[in-house]
């Protein structure tokens, strides 16, 4: 037991003193969380900028009350009605400096918008449409027979931080697992520590166990930091019921990704090669698993591929237990799958394992 | 009582190279045994086969009456090994290294610190492994091999890279260990070292043992002046690639 603890301590010290490793396992994923969390914080479509070229009756004749109501969603910039001003306005739209240009020609209100941002142009179209409708109504002098009141649902589960946190945490755990075991294996082989340990009366189980222990502690640290930062009022993560189920999920995920690292480390001859190969595995998997953004709008084949990726299942199970109020029912099958994955890959890695660099 | 080492017909091939080609040797308990030979003669590979670090293609090796292959943790407790190229845990200081090794054998930390002092590294105890000089790393490697008071010690070129003081100190240490009844096997390229330390030496080349005997007897048998002459006469004068 003392041998096991001391070996774990030696590994933990070596890891903690490796600045690059600390950065990439703890700080780097956290930076993503903080950055994405801030970027997507108010993801609702904000104000739209439109350029009004010359006089447009429906806009100029808007009652003050209606104008005040639009202040939060529409910013109108007025220019003179010359042909040059119109060209300039259209150029602005093309460049994305303005969201739309509006002008009046032969009694018709014309709206020009860019197709690049469909959400934005849809909003502008809708707003302009309703302005025109209301102007029409005023012209008929009749009170509206039907009115549709709209408003976005400010639902907790739709807040970006609610899916960013589990996804990015899954990615962080995956990186920690793959890099932790791949790097460790390669550098211990190159520095002949594997050989030296072979000559000490310690079981392979203790060596592997110590490494897993160190990785698990790192993963728990990642989880604690992630949840703490995301729960700050600024980001506003709210956890649901059995959120602590993320801990056993993190354990199973760590084992699954360490087994990938073991396989990478068995093939790679140098640390650089291990780094490259690990990146090659992790980065595409992170995108295809929807850890950075949801895959709801992705093509069908991508969603099919993602079903085979352990990170997809880890990330969605994490989301289910952390922010969607799910419990054992969703977590257990995923844990089982991850453990099975780890067992298969470890068995393969054991077959291609090499003691020596040569 | 069984021999410290009994090796019988050891062979090991690396691709095209027959690194060890039928080595048989016997080392008595309490003996100080040297393995000599030119670069690439197969000394390190022979040691590795004896230690049970590699599986021989053919032949067997018994240490203290126990086969060294397959790996046997109970036997590993009783032997100490210093590899030709030192192997340390990454980014640990000298003291942390030797304490970790001590813990693997269930040895007290205070004993580990004492060992560090014995090899003259007390001042460098807080220096990280990659910041030690070549000779200091070599001494730490030896200290790690000896920390658990092994009955049988393998040292692969222990004095390479050491300054004269450290070399003499190590000789004294090895003599002390040996005089307390422990068996020491070492390889070296210094003939004076082999002559002063070893009870018997084996001269190897091309993976084979050419001759075994006490240094003095070998000098007499071949009717030359020094062990170095013995070496050159047995292995030839031309350079090795
Ligand atoms: N891991 C290995 N893979 C392939 N060939 C090897 C390996 N280790 C040793 N050899 C080859 O086996 C032969 C014997 O090597 P060995 O290291 O045993 O020599 P040595 O007597 O210890 O030499 P030195 O005095 O230089 O330490 C050499 O030709 C070497 O190239
Ligand atoms: Mg050698």
Interface check B85 vs A, CB under 8 A: yes
* A5, A193, A199 ranked by CB distance to B89: nearest: A193
The distance of A169 to chain B (nearest Cα, Å) reads: 28
Q: Which among B14, B96, B41 is positioned nearest to A6, based on CA atoms?
A: B96
Whether residues B164 and B238 share a domain: the answer is yes
Q: Which among A54, A52, A1 is positioned nearest to A202, based on CA atoms?
A: A1
Asked if the model's pLDDT at residue B239 lies above 80, the reply is no
State how far the alpha carbon of B68 is from the alpha carbons of B1, B49, B72, B148, B153, in Å: 17, 8, 7, 18, 14
Q: What mean pLDDT is reported for chain B? A: 94
pLDDT for res A46: 60
d(CA A278, CA A223) in angstroms, rounded, equals 21
The total domain count for chain B is 2
Q: Which of B10, B16, B19 to mutate to test the pocket of ligand 1 (most atoms within 8 A of CB)?
A: B19
Residues in chain A within 8 Å Cβ distance of B103 = 2-3, 5-7
Interface check B71 vs A, CB under 8 A: yes
Pick from B124, B149, B174: which residue ends a domain? B149
Residue B27 is classified by DSSP as E
Rounded mean pLDDT, A107-130: 79
Rounded mean pLDDT, B121-131: 94
Rounded mean pLDDT, B204-224: 94
Whether residues B219 and B234 share a domain: the answer is yes
Q: Report how far ligand 1's centroid is from the alpha carbon of B230 (Å).
A: 23
* Residue ranges of E strands in A31-96: 48-53, 74-79
Q: Report how far Cα B236 is from the mean position of its chain's Cα atoms.
A: 24
Pick from B107, B131, B149: which residue ends a domain? B149
What percentage of chain A has pLDDT greater than the value 70?
A: 93
Which of the two residues, B1 and A233, has the higher pLDDT score? A233
Asked if the model's pLDDT at residue A356 lies above 80, the reply is no
CA-nearest residue for atom 26, ligand 1, is: B39
Asked if the model's pLDDT at residue A157 lies above 50, the reply is no
Whether residues B228 and B197 share a domain: the answer is yes
pLDDT for res A147: 64
d(CA B200, CA B35) in angstroms, rounded, equals 9
Whether residues B55 and B167 share a domain: the answer is yes
Ligand 1 is surrounded, with C-beta below 6 A, by A 356, 358; B 14, 17, 19, 37, 39-45, 84
Whether residues B117 and B133 share a domain: the answer is yes
* Tens-digit pLDDT profile for residues A258-301: 999 999 998 898 989 999 999 999 999 999 998 888 888 888 88
Residue A203's H or E segment, with its range, is none
Domain borders along chain A are 7-41+159-352, 48-140
Residue B45's pLDDT band (boundaries 50, 70, 90)? very high
Domain enclosing residue B103, as ranges: 86-149
Residue A56's pLDDT band (boundaries 50, 70, 90)? confident
Interface check B105 vs A, CB under 8 A: yes
Asked if the model's pLDDT at residue B219 lies above 60, the reply is yes
pLDDT for res A42: 66
Interface check B157 vs A, CB under 8 A: no
pLDDT for res A148: 61
Residue B240's pLDDT band (boundaries 50, 70, 90)? low
Q: Do A7 and B103 touch (CB under 8 A)?
A: yes
Residues in chain B within 8 Å Cβ distance of A14 = 89-92
Whether residues B205 and B233 share a domain: the answer is yes
Asked if the model's pLDDT at residue A44 lies above 80, the reply is no
Q: Which CATH number is B237's domain given?
A: 3.40.50.300
CB A265 within 8 A of CB A181: yes
Residue B61's H or E segment, with its range, is strand B58-63
Asked if the model's pLDDT at residue A156 lies above 50, the reply is no
Whether residues B103 and B202 share a domain: the answer is no
* Tens-digit pLDDT profile for residues A312-345: 999 999 999 998 888 899 999 999 999 999 999 9
* Tens-digit pLDDT profile for residues A216-252: 999 999 999 999 999 998 888 888 889 999 999 999 9
CATH topology of domain A48-140: D-Maltodextrin-Binding Protein; domain 2 (3.40.190)
């Amino acid at each position: 037991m003392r041998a096991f603890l001391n070996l774990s301590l030696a590994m933990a010290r070596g890891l903690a003193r490796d600045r690059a490793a600390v950065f990439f396992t703890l700080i780097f994923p956290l930076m993503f969380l903080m950055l994405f969390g801030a970027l997507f914080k108010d993801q609702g479509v904000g104000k739209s900028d439109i350029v009004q070229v010359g006089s447009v009756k429906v806009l100029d004749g808007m009652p003050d009350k209606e104008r005040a109501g639009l202040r939060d969603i529409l910013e109108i910039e007025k220019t003179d009605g010359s042909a040059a001003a119109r060209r300039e306005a259209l150029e602005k739209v093309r460049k994305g400096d303005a969201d739309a240009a509006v002008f009046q020609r032969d009694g018709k209100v014309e709206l020009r918008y860019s197709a690049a941002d469909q959400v934005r142009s849809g909003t502008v179209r809708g707003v302009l449409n309703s302005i025109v409708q209301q102007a029409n109504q005023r012209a008929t002098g009749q009170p509206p027979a039907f009115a549709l009141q709209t408003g976005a649902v400010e639902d907790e589960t739709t807040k970006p931080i609610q899916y960013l946190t589990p996804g990015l945490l899954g990615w962080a755990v995956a990186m920690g697992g793959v890099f932790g075991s791949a790097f460790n294996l390669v550098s211990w082989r190159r520095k002949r520590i594997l050989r030296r340990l072979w000559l000490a009366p310690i079981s392979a189980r203790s060596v592997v166990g110590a490494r897993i222990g160190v990785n698990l502690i790192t993963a728990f640290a990642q989880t604690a930091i992630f949840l703490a930062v995301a729960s700050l009022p600024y980001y506003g993560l709210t956890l649901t019921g059995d959120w602590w189920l993320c801990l056993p999920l993190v354990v199973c995920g760590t084992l699954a990704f360490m087994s990938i690292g073991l396989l990478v480390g068995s093939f790679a001859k140098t640390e650089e090669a291990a780094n490259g190969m690990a990146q090659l595995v992790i980065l595409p998997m992170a995108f295809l698993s929807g850890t950075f953004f949801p895959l709801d709008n992705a093509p069908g084949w991508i969603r099919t591929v993602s079903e085979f990726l352990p990170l997809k299942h880890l990330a969605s199970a994490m989301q289910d237990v952390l922010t969607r109020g799910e419990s054992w029912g969703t977590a257990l099958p995923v844990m089982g799958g991850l453990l099975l994955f780890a067992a298969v890959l470890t068995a393969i890695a054991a077959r291609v394992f090499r003691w020596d660099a040569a | 009582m069984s021999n410290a080492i009994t090796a019988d017909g050891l062979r090991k091939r690396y691709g095209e190279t027959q690194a060890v080609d039928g080595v048989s040797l016997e080392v008595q308990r309490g003996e100080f045994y040297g393995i000599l030979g030119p670069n690439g003669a197969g000394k390190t590979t022979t040691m590795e086969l004896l230690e049970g670090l590699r599986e021989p293609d053919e032949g067997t090796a018994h240490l203290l009456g126990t086969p060294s292959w397959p790996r046997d943790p109970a036997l590993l407790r009783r032997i100490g090994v210093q590899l030709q190229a030192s192997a340390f845990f990454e980014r640990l200081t000298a003291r942390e290294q030797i304490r970790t090794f001590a813990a693997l054998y269930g040895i007290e930390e205070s004993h580990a610190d004492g060992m560090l002092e014995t090899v003259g590294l007390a001042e460098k105890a807080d220096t990280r492994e990659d910041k030690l000089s070549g000779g200091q790393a070599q001494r730490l490697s030896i200290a790690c091999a000896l920390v658990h008071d092994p009955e049988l010690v393998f040292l692969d070129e222990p004095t390479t890279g050491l300054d004269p003081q450290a070399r003499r100190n190590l000789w004294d240490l090895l003599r002390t260990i040996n005089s307390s009844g422990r068996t020491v096997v070492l390889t070296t390229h210094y003939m004076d070292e082999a002559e002063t330390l070893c009870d018997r030496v084996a001269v190897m080349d091309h993976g084979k043992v050419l001759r075994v005997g006490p240094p003095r007897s070998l000098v007499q048998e071949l009717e030359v002046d020094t062990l170095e002459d013995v070496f050159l006469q047995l292995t030839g004068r031309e350079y090795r690639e």
